[in-house]
Amino acid sequence: MTNDLSYDLLVKGGQVIDPYQGIDAFLDVAIRDGKIETVSPNIVDNTASQIVDASGLIVTPGLIDLHTHAYWGASLYGVEPDSSHISKGVTTVLDTGSSGADTFPAFRKYVIERSNTRILALLNISSMGMVVGYGGLEDPRWANINKAVQVGKKNSDVVVGIKARIPPMAANDYRAIVSRAITAADELNGFFMLHLGGTSLSVSERLDLLRSGDVVTHAFRLSDNGQGILDDNQQVLDAAWAAKKRGVIFDIGHGSGSFSFETAKNAISQGFTPDTISSDLHFKNIDGPVYDLVTTLSKFLHMGLPLSKVIRMATSTPAKSLGYEGILGTLRPGAVADLALLQTVAGNFDLSDSGGRQIVSATQLLKPITTIKGGQLYNSFTNRAD
């Protein structure tokens, strides 16, 4: 029993927000062997090997980004994962279809296994993945169930489901491609993520294809030309309410063209909140308007969502989608010791939605200070100019 008070790392004096446990209080977090040992007030600190002073900071579970593109150098969209994610409070990301069955092995060997950021993946139903554009899905022969299932099963520690991003020119094959993606996701006991992009099917018809646990990303895009979750009178579609009710996850996936303040404000005012807030960080938006996940979270604080709710949308809810409920995205004793130490900075900050359609003046911004993953410390920085 002599080691009972010996911790590897102690994070002291921060405002701990762990929505999974309903915690929002000034507490210390003790870490041992890469796991959370305890979260309690005034832990005696003379036995810990390393102490991090978190006074003035918010301490949350390591953030989880449910929509990213981390296949740097092979997929046109890929950004370098560590400078984009773990350096900014994000300990776990889901790469959404940058690789397909033919291109996943190199993604695993040269990116996933060499990154400090924990990277899980949705295989693209296109076996080439999003090397460029839509990954060849203009031709549905790229949507190969057998290949996806074979590679997904072989890499079940990383692959959690299937993504499809179907180009408008494949409108006639839309249902067939989604059906193949769902079949493959089921074979892998994973989920299917639908990119809410243009097609001849109505949004309601597309949402009706999704089951409990499936994710619709870009869900709060501009609802123009019948392409979003709002109807012409700016009311949330019945099909969206029905999908939410049966357990479909509505994800932000901000990106360079897929998040609208107007849609979000309208939907939230009707009680239709997102389930998860993700960045869709890629090469076209990393220098704005997305920058990183914390800036995306700050946009929802500006819209009036409480901090604990926003943190839940980027911790325990995405953890559950990924099959890591209670293991990631929480500071519960025994959980993986992933933490984000964030600062709330006051001032005037211009924040833009996709395409710069609307720029709001926010009075507070979340800023990453330090990240801890599996009990290891990483310093944070931001490339946002402010």
CB of 245 to Zn ion, least distance (A): 26
Instruction: Identify which of residues 129 and 329 has a Cβ nearer to Zn ion in the complex.
Output: 129
CB of 217 to Zn ion, least distance (A): 7
AA identity, residue 172: N
User: At its nearest, how many Å lie between Zn ion and the CB of residue 96?
Assistant: 5
Which of residues 37 and 280 has its CB atom nearest to Zn ion in the complex? 280
Minimum distance between the CB of residue 67 and Zn ion, rounded to whole angstroms?
6
- Closest distance to Zn ion from the beta carbon of 23 (Å): 32
Nearer to Zn ion, 280 or 292 (CB): 280
By CB under 5 A, the residues from 151 to 170 that bind Zn ion are none
Beta-carbon contacts of 264 under 8 Å, excluding residues fewer than 6 positions away, are: 220, 274, 300, 303
| 280 lies in the site for Zn ion, by CB under 5 A | yes
Of 150-158, 272-280, 295-303, 323-331: span binding Zn ion (CB under 5 A): 272-280
**Closest residue to Zn ion, Cβ-based?**
280
Q: How far is the CB of 280 from Zn ion (least distance, A)?
A: 4
Count of residues interacting with Zn ion (CB under 5 A) = 1
Return the range that interacts with Zn ion (CB under 5 A); candidates 22-30, 38-46, 276-284, 353-361. 276-284
Q: Is position 251 an interface residue for Zn ion (rule: CB under 5 A)? A: no
Tell me the window of 114-122, 237-245, 256-264, 275-283 that interacts with Zn ion (CB under 5 A): 275-283
Q: Which stretch binds Zn ion (CB under 5 A): 119-127, 183-191, 277-285, 293-301?
A: 277-285
By beta-carbon proximity to Zn ion, the closer residue of 65 and 280 is 280
In the region spanning residues 27 to 66, those forming contacts with Zn ion, defined by CB under 5 A, are none
Shortest approach of Zn ion to residue 150 CB, angstroms?
24
**Which of these, 73, 54, 77, 248, lies nearest to 165 by C-alpha position?**
77
Verify binding: residue 95, Zn ion, rule CB under 5 A.
no
**Closest distance of CB 30 from Zn ion, Å:** 37
Q: Which is nearer to Zn ion, 60 or 199 (CB)?
A: 199
Amino acid letter, 318: P
Closer Cβ to Zn ion, 28 or 251, answer by number: 251
Judged by beta carbon, residue 280 or residue 353, the one nearer Zn ion is 280
- Residues in contact with Zn ion by CB under 5 A are 280
